[in-house]
Amino acid sequence: MNVIVCGHYRCGGVQAAFGRPTTGPLEGWIANVRTIRQAHAEALALRPDEGARAQPLAIHGWIYDLHDGLLRDLEVSVGPLE
């Protein structure tokens, strides 16, 4: 199984989603992130079962460049490579 963690530098939206609710033009988007985080809080807190732990897992770091629209592999993979 591969997990790709992708983001961009200084993501204020995600930072705001973990803070107190705000007002303004971005609150609608931030509220969506907050709702998703709250909806999956219980699942995120669960420990994987034995079957899931037996599966090979690789985590890869990517970054999206807001300036040129390109997606870049940060070459910071952890875990088995296939």
**Interval 50-73: pLDDT, tens:** 777 777 888 899 988 888 889 999
Identify whether the C-beta of residue 76 lies closer than 8 Å to the C-beta of residue 61: yes
Domain-wise residue ranges, the chain: 2-73
Q: From CA 5, how far away is CA 43, in angstroms rounded? A: 18
Global confidence as pTM: 0.49
- pLDDT for residue 72: 92
Q: Please give the single-letter amino acid code of residue 53.
A: R
